[in-house]
Amino acid sequence: MNTKAIRATTNDKLAAGVRLMLAIIFLMTGPMKLFVPQLADAWSGQLLAAQVPFYEISRWSVPFLELVLGLILAVGFFVRPGVVVVIGIMIVATYVHSVVDNPSLFPLQPKEPIIPIIVLVMSVFILWRGAGAWSADLKSTINLERS
């Protein structure tokens, strides 16, 4: 598949709104897992309780990856590959919510995987519709149509 097809989108304001909501979520959650002590401890505890492989790598890389994904979504640059990564993260998050039975490890959200499932649905919508309005992908699509 070529980059033209991956970046193709329309001036869809609903898709843009969903994309920007996802951006806000990831721009908040990544740094919070690094810099808010209570949330960093909860994040670490979730990974340990769920026995996620490569604990140390996951503990430090996922928050940075979430920050990068938030920036990708905010700018709207190669959004479809970005949401494929989001979907992978949310599948693991759904698993973690399903197997960890300590509610204290989920201080700002329910123990049930409600938020990961909502983010999954939003991501699939963006995968289907594209980045939408106000995105670098839309500017690229318009420029390609003109040439």
Whether residue 64 contacts residue 57, with contact meaning beta carbons closer than 8 Å, is answered with no
Instruction: Report the range of poorest mean pLDDT among 3-7, 9-13, 87-91.
Output: 3-7
Cβ–Cβ contacts within 10 Å for residue 23, how many? 20
pLDDT of residue 9: 95
Q: CA-CA distances (angstroms) from residue 97 to 105, 123, 131?
A: 10, 18, 28
Average pLDDT over residues 58-64: 97
d(CA 81, CA 85): 7
DSSP secondary structure letters along 91-108:
HHHHHHHHH---GGG-TT
pLDDT of residue 1: 62
Q: Is the pLDDT of residue 147 over 70?
A: no
Q: What is the pLDDT of residues 96-129, one digit of tens each?
A: 999 999 999 999 899 899 999 999 999 999 999 9
**Residues near 35 by beta carbon (within 8 Å), at least 6 away in sequence:** none
Coil, strand or helix at 54: coil
Task: Tell me the domain boundaries of the chain.
Answer: 3-146
pLDDT of residue 57: 97
pLDDT of residue 79: 98
Q: Is the pLDDT of residue 70 over 80?
A: yes
Q: Where are the alpha helices (DSSP H) in 36-113?
A: 37-49, 55-75, 79-99
Which pTM was predicted?
0.94
